[in-house]
Structure 1
Amino acid sequence: MTAPSRPDRLLVLAPTRRAASETFIRANLEGLPFATTAFFGDERPLRSPWRLVYGTAILLSKLLTRLRCPWLATWPASWVTWALIHRCRPDAVLVEFGFEAVRVMEACAWTGVPLVVHFRGSDASARNRLGMLEERYRRLMRIASAVIVKSRPMADTLLDLGASADWLLISPSGANTALFEGSRPAAADPVLLAVGRFVEKKGPLHTIRSFAQLCHQSTASTPRLQLWMVGEGPLLAEAQALVQSLALTQQVRLLGVRSQVEVAALMREVRAFVQHSLVAADGDSEGSPVAVMEAQLSGLPVVATRHAGIPDVVLDGESGFLVDEGDETAMAAAMARVVNDRELAARLGDCGRRRVLAGFTVDHHLRQVSELLRKVIEASRR
């Protein structure tokens, strides 16, 4: 009898698994069809020596990066990762985020184990990362066997840094079909929902100001016209102050952090999803926002901006409305269309759901990433 072949082994390295906004890391760990071992840079449990050592090495690498010594910052975590590779004997290493990959990349160069890097957004756009890490990223592109990105603009950035077009996958993270369904925008009150961290690239202040214009123009009953915002972050206090100054405290609800299950439930109560994504002052950009895909999968129309990977997901005039970055008046007008026309909202939402089911679910993403990893592993064996 032929002995059954062992499953391919995957070592996953990521900054954290605890952040509420980083559900995609947990989805990869749960859904990729490999024998997976994962280590996280923010975990240093005393009862797990290897995790303690890895987390400490990442902490030291972060300190050296802040001291503007990116070359030295590579070595502590690379040495520990080299030891982990010898201990776990993976067939490939998958690293979440480019800035994490430059900390561990030399271990793959030393061992010959193929490295796949998953870029997400700020790691391939923000100037404070690209500027300081440009030389390190060029080295990373020479070491990496393959690269995964969220959008065409991210792909173009990494191609300029030396990534191989033949081994570059554009794959949005995708929405979870088990959670996001059942929205009925035609039956919902005129409530708009925004989900995302309160950071500049998510445009929460632009969204609030657009909603204020809508309130001033709308014929809808004022108490029923509302904006619900899920998330927290450095702009939350400024958002709270803006709501106060615009006299919107009865219409804007700041709901804090909510779980995916809670967000899915909120999407079943509202008329539309809104997000004013834009390029931040430091160059930080979105990849392809998961919340936009989740909203469309739920059956909601989306009002958003022509930014990063959003136009790949939202078809302007078919599954939602797209406006230019920074154009709050246009966003208010688009909000008004879905608030004032229930049937239009329903048609847009239905189109969005069909579009995400056709190509932007978690299953699509996991299948694409799995196929890439298998190709990388097979190529390394050859």
Structure 2
Amino acid sequence: MKNARIALISPSQNAYSETFIQAQKKYLKGNVFYYFGGAIPTQLEGGTIRLPLFSRIFFKIQKKFKLTHLSFKEYALAKSFQQQNITVVLAQYGTTAHQLIRVCKLLNIPLITHFHGYDASTFSVLQYHKNYKDVFGYSSYVVAVSKKMEEKLLSLGCQKDKLVYNTYGPQPEFLEVQPTYAKKQFIAIGRFTNKKAPYYTILAFKKALEKHPDAQLLMAGDGVLFDTCKNLIKYYNLENNIKLLGVISPSAFRAYLSESIAFVQHSITPLTGDMEGTPLAVLESSAAGLPVISTKHAGIPDVIIDNETGFLVDEHDVTGMALKMIQILDAPQLAVKMGAKGKLHIKSNFSLEHYLNGLEEIIAEAVKK
């Protein structure tokens, strides 16, 4: 494993919501080469995949006489893999893996496909990528981050012996947070998208304010529904109780966790079929020692024990979520009890070390094959 030369492929570099990819880049054993810039990457961190003039001319000649079926991007990537002596490719998202198959086949490099959420659930994405038939066929291993995703990938045709359930782990700094539960304050963080349904969180909190008018809700993140939520807050005159923080750093998130009473997120499956994998913010919040109030969606029930480390309600159950918020506000000692159980549960079962060890095992096996 230490000698593995891993091409870590991500569509975008350092996306703030993709901290799990940054953890792989930073902590995986072996030599990690981080490629990014589209499904077929055009950039290599700390290096280049730009072809010299001779190679570009040679490619054009091959293309003219139909001696290659590769696109120019694929050809350049293949040359880079050869230059870096890549021994295994770890593709982030099934959509990325789909685009890399021809290059991996040409060079006989094993491919590990890491699904994350939308790529395993959105109807249009599955249709476009033909239910990942080719991805499942070529991949040495396929990683699912939730039990629900595991079931879905099996139903699409992934071979059971290739499928690995391996949920993310939070950065160790979140386990170091010691919450004081000092404020009647809920914290939410994530992209403002349909599957996270931030408007439902706002509506549930509005109901909770009827009994606890001094409660606060902090919402961090950005996305297509940000303005919608801002308008909703203004319409209901909730500006004094709900603060939209925008995109914040992990350290700022930990600071808010340390003073809040619970983490809240009302994830749903929208009409597009798009689902979460296992939301990292849920894991981070539970690791920090806060109870999580969320929904029975995707991988959330895998990591949050209902009525023990948090509360889970049905998707779209705004009233149910409000009642759980009220229950925590009525009895802050419950937050302390649930939070302590949650911290222990995450530390014991979903640590970052456990997640990385799982990846390293299949990388080593793929290279052996």
TM-score by length of 2: 0.90
Residue 333 of structure 1: which of 309, 323, 327 is its match?
323
Residue 188 of structure 1: which of 182, 193, 197 is its match?
182
**1:75/1:104 contact within 8 Å kept:** no
1:91 partnered with 2:50: no
Amino acid of the residue matched to residue 90 of structure 2? L
**CA-CA distance at 1:247 after TM superposition:** 1.2
**CA-CA distance at 1:79 after TM superposition:** 2.8
1:207 partnered with 2:201: yes
CA RMSD of aligned residues (A): 2.1
Change (3 A) 1:184 1:304: same
| 1:268-301 deviations in Å (ceiling 9; x for gaps) | 0100000001102201000000000100000000
**CA-CA distance at 1:179 after TM superposition:** 3.6
Aligned mates of 2:310, 2:129 — CA distance in 1:
37
Aligned mates of 1:228, 1:11 — CA distance in 2:
38
Aligned mates of 2:15, 2:71 — CA distance in 1:
26
Amino acid of the residue matched to residue 98 of structure 1? G
What is residue 248 of structure 1 aligned with on the other side?
238
**1:207/1:276 contact within 8 Å kept:** yes
Aligned mates of 1:127, 1:98 — CA distance in 2:
13
**1:17/1:25 contact within 8 Å kept:** no
What is residue 16 of structure 2 aligned with on the other side?
20
Change (3 A) 1:47 1:207: closer
| 1:136-182 deviations in Å (ceiling 9; x for gaps) | x1111111111111112212222233322112111111111224433
| 1:183-204 deviations in Å (ceiling 9; x for gaps) | 435x421100011000010110
Amino acid of the residue matched to residue 7 of structure 1? N
Aligned mates of 1:208, 1:245 — CA distance in 2:
12
Change (3 A) 1:115 1:45: closer
Task: Give secondary structure in 2 for the equivalent of 1:266.
Answer: helix
Change (3 A) 1:40 1:247: same
How many residue pairs get aligned? The number is 350
1:130 partnered with 2:120: no
Task: Give secondary structure in 2 for the equivalent of 1:117.
Answer: strand
What is residue 48 of structure 2 aligned with on the other side?
50
What is residue 66 of structure 1 aligned with on the other side?
none
Change (3 A) 1:52 1:336: farther
Residue 105 of structure 2: which of 102, 109, 113 is its match?
109
Task: Give secondary structure in 1 for the equivalent of 2:267.
Answer: coil
Task: Give secondary structure in 1 for the equivalent of 2:154.
Answer: helix
Residue 168 of structure 1: which of 143, 152, 163 is its match?
163
What is residue 116 of structure 2 aligned with on the other side?
120
Aligned mates of 2:73, 2:105 — CA distance in 1:
13
What is residue 270 of structure 1 aligned with on the other side?
260
Deviates more, 1:105-114 or 1:268-277: 105-114
Change (3 A) 1:84 1:160: farther
Aligned mates of 1:133, 1:270 — CA distance in 2:
42
Q: Could you list the runs of 5+ residues in structure 1 that have no partner in the other structure?
A: 54-72
Aligned mates of 2:160, 2:27 — CA distance in 1:
26
**1:230/1:256 contact within 8 Å kept:** yes
Change (3 A) 1:82 1:359: same
Task: Give secondary structure in 1 for the equivalent of 2:177.
Answer: coil
What is residue 57 of structure 2 aligned with on the other side?
none
What is residue 64 of structure 2 aligned with on the other side?
none
Residue 37 of structure 1: which of 33, 36, 40 is its match?
33
**1:10/1:91 contact within 8 Å kept:** yes
| 1:13-47 deviations in Å (ceiling 9; x for gaps) | 11112211111111000010011111101586799
**1:82/1:111 contact within 8 Å kept:** yes
Change (3 A) 1:183 1:246: farther
Residue 339 of structure 2: which of 349, 354, 365 is its match?
349
Task: Give secondary structure in 2 for the equivalent of 1:20.
Answer: coil
1:285 partnered with 2:275: yes
What is residue 139 of structure 2 aligned with on the other side?
144
Aligned mates of 2:138, 2:268 — CA distance in 1:
32
Amino acid of the residue matched to residue 26 of structure 1? Q
Identity of aligned pairs, percent?
32
Change (3 A) 1:83 1:313: same
**1:181/1:299 contact within 8 Å kept:** no
Change (3 A) 1:125 1:191: same
Deviates more, 1:347-356 or 1:109-118: 109-118
**1:299/1:350 contact within 8 Å kept:** yes
